[in-house]
Chains A and B, each alone.
Chain A
Amino acid sequence: MGVGVSASGRISGPFLKRSLFFVAGVALIILLWELGHRRYGDLVLPGVAETFATLGQMIKSGEVGEALVQTAFNAITGWFFSVGLGVVLGGIAGLWDDFRFMVRPVSVMLLGVPAIAWVVLALLWFGGRWAVVFTVVVATAPIIFASAAQGVRSLDNDLAHMARLFRAPTGSMIVDIYGPHMLHHIYPALATTLAMSWKVSIMAELLSGSGGIGDGIAAARARVDTAQMIAWILVVIFILLLLDQVLLRLVRQWLIVPGAKGADNEQA
């Protein structure tokens, strides 16, 4: 399953069927959008053609490219910090109960505070671009931390015993035992936080006015330019789809262990 083109070069039935349903879904969204536009008018919901024309102008003027670079920097820098912190601290917390008990209140606190509150605090503490990066880190790191800690804790003790019997060195324990096990466990958290980092970054940019897509949305709001606002939303959706279908799909395929439970579903 999941192979779109057969060995003979012909498109397989299930792939064609899935593609048709996908196109039907997109067509339905466009239809509802256009109906909404006709019912409520330009100010509430601009038409499909007008929105895409606005988007084309924004791309042509270089506005989209510049904003994308800034938001990508904020989101990805924050996400990398978050992965580094979450995996290292979560790994340690998974191995040592005392450390986990000590760090848990911090993690609960970070998860409990709404991202919007962090934006306000970060603006007071840092201001500008680093306020955005900081907000992404505090909003996503606890999720990766919890997942990494659980990943290490859920490792089959017998596998660790086996490795101890063969006197596996620490490096090998990380590369062969804990690492692969943890990666399979934290993949959903990595995927979720990667998408989340973009959304949080845009929200923080909107409030901080430090450039990026969020700043573009804030400017469109100030001008009451609904077409431009929806054009920015289309850009964000496009980026998230690209991340999921290209980057995360590659990681998913790399993680698939042939013969493991659920491998066939994953491949599909």
Chain B
Amino acid sequence: MNRHDPCLQFDNVRFSYGQRLILDGIDLDCQRQSVSVLMGLSGCGKTTMLSLAAGLGDPLSGRVARTAKRVGMMFQDPLLLPWRSALENVAFALKALAVSRKERDERARAILDAVGFPCDQQHAYPGQLSGGLRQRVSLARALVIDPDLLLLDEPFRALDIGLVRSMQGLLLDLVEKTGMSILMVTHDASDAARMADKVVLLSAKPARIDVCLDCSKKGRRSDEMALIEEIEAHLMALEV
């Protein structure tokens, strides 16, 4: 499988909740070892696209094809089990795999370290953690399965800027080293410009792809600033 093979494809996807059409004719390819970012106005259908990508729903028509074997997802809310510790929440994601409890705990501990989760809080329960720490547990749970495809729904919300940068660095490093593909939803143009190989802007409901920006050539600071401005200009145009 080479870098340009798509690990996720939306092929003319339409989706509705009852009579309300949410997505209307979405075509999107997410290549291996790449970061695709979904942006658009609030409630336009970005999270719905992630749910379809995760296999948590079926389109009304069209096709969502995944070649990825392991799909990890960080939800908009952390969705942690309140009765399990941080470590157990991360290890939970490994229960589908045939690994011993010891190995589950070791892998969970290692990934919590990697996302900068404090060692002395690994046995704390979600109710005892700050919003930022809960986000990190949620990211660690998504990463612990070594996903081929990682779906992120506003992953850097409620995090300090330093931590955002270090998590972005970690994710880009994983994309580079493991060939993982990321499909991320964000409202922040600078997060998108920093991480994306491709930025997809969705129109207001029913969502269609309004603009698809290829960002793979970026690299210089001035390019990044120009990209942020371009994304923001498109977002402003959507609001009008």
Chain A residues near B (Cβ < 8 Å): 156, 158-159, 161-169, 172, 176-177, 180-181, 184, 257-261, 263
Closest beta carbon of chain B to A22's beta carbon, Å: 31
- Measured in the bound complex, the distance between the Cα atoms of B83 and A184 in whole Å is 10
- On whether A260 and B96 interact (CB within 8 A), knowing A158-B77, A166-B145, the answer reads no
Is the pair A258, B127 in contact by a Cβ cutoff of 8 Å? Answer: yes
- Measured in the bound complex, the distance between the Cα atoms of B6 and A127 in whole Å is 72
- On whether A259 and B127 interact (CB within 8 A), knowing A162-B75, A165-B54, A180-B81, the answer reads yes
Name the A residues within 8 Å of B71 (CB-CB).
165
Closest beta carbon of chain A to B60's beta carbon, Å: 19
Interface of B is mostly: loop
Is the pair A259, B129 in contact by a Cβ cutoff of 8 Å? Answer: yes
- Measured in the bound complex, the distance between the Cα atoms of B6 and A55 in whole Å is 82
Closest beta carbon of chain B to A172's beta carbon, Å: 4
CB-contact partner of B95 in A158, A168, A180, A260, under 8 A: A168
B128 contacts A by Cβ under 8 Å: yes
B45 contacts A by Cβ under 8 Å: no
- Measured in the bound complex, the distance between the Cα atoms of B54 and A165 in whole Å is 7
Is the pair A259, B128 in contact by a Cβ cutoff of 8 Å? Answer: yes
Is the pair A159, B79 in contact by a Cβ cutoff of 8 Å? Answer: yes
Closest beta carbon of chain B to A229's beta carbon, Å: 45
Chain B residues near A (Cβ < 8 Å): 54-56, 71, 73, 75, 77, 79, 81-84, 92-93, 95-96, 124-129, 141, 145
- Measured in the bound complex, the distance between the Cα atoms of B125 and A181 in whole Å is 15
- Measured in the bound complex, the distance between the Cα atoms of B95 and A163 in whole Å is 10
Name the A residues within 8 Å of B129 (CB-CB).
259
Is the pair B56, A161 in contact by a Cβ cutoff of 8 Å? Answer: yes
Is the pair B96, A166 in contact by a Cβ cutoff of 8 Å? Answer: yes
Is the pair B92, A166 in contact by a Cβ cutoff of 8 Å? Answer: yes
CB-contact partner of A260 in B79, B93, B127, under 8 A: B127
Is the pair A159, B95 in contact by a Cβ cutoff of 8 Å? Answer: no
- Measured in the bound complex, the distance between the Cα atoms of B20 and A245 in whole Å is 55
Closest beta carbon of chain B to A155's beta carbon, Å: 11
Closest beta carbon of chain A to B70's beta carbon, Å: 9
- Measured in the bound complex, the distance between the Cα atoms of B145 and A168 in whole Å is 12
Is the pair B56, A159 in contact by a Cβ cutoff of 8 Å? Answer: no
- Measured in the bound complex, the distance between the Cα atoms of B230 and A94 in whole Å is 51
Extra 9 A-B pairs, beta carbons < 8 Å, given A169-B96, A176-B92, A263-B127: A158-B75, A161-B79, A166-B145, A168-B95, A177-B81, A180-B84, A184-B83, A258-B124, A259-B129
Name the B residues within 8 Å of A164 (CB-CB).
56
A172's nearest neighbour on chain B, judged by CB, is B95
Name the B residues within 8 Å of A161 (CB-CB).
56, 79
Name the A residues within 8 Å of B93 (CB-CB).
166
Is the pair A165, B56 in contact by a Cβ cutoff of 8 Å? Answer: yes
CB-contact partner of A176 in B77, B81, B127, B141, under 8 A: B81
A–B complex contacts, Cβ < 8 Å, 20 sampled: A156-B79, A158-B77, A158-B79, A159-B79, A161-B56, A164-B56, A167-B96, A168-B92, A172-B96, A176-B84, A177-B81, A184-B83, A257-B82, A258-B127, A259-B124, A259-B129, A260-B82, A260-B83, A260-B125, A260-B127
Closest beta carbon of chain B to A180's beta carbon, Å: 4
Name the B residues within 8 Å of A167 (CB-CB).
96
Closest beta carbon of chain A to B184's beta carbon, Å: 16
Name the B residues within 8 Å of A162 (CB-CB).
73, 75, 79
Name the A residues within 8 Å of B56 (CB-CB).
161, 164-165
Name the B residues within 8 Å of A166 (CB-CB).
92-93, 95-96, 141, 145
Name the B residues within 8 Å of A159 (CB-CB).
79, 81
- Nearest 8 CB-CB pairings of A with B: A259-B127, A259-B128, A167-B96, A180-B83, A172-B95, A162-B79, A166-B93, A260-B127
- Measured in the bound complex, the distance between the Cα atoms of B92 and A158 in whole Å is 15
CB-contact partner of A169 in B73, B95, B127, B128, under 8 A: B95
- Measured in the bound complex, the distance between the Cα atoms of B73 and A239 in whole Å is 51
Closest beta carbon of chain A to B138's beta carbon, Å: 9
- Measured in the bound complex, the distance between the Cα atoms of B82 and A180 in whole Å is 9
Is the pair B125, A258 in contact by a Cβ cutoff of 8 Å? Answer: yes
Is the pair B126, A259 in contact by a Cβ cutoff of 8 Å? Answer: yes
Closest beta carbon of chain B to A27's beta carbon, Å: 40
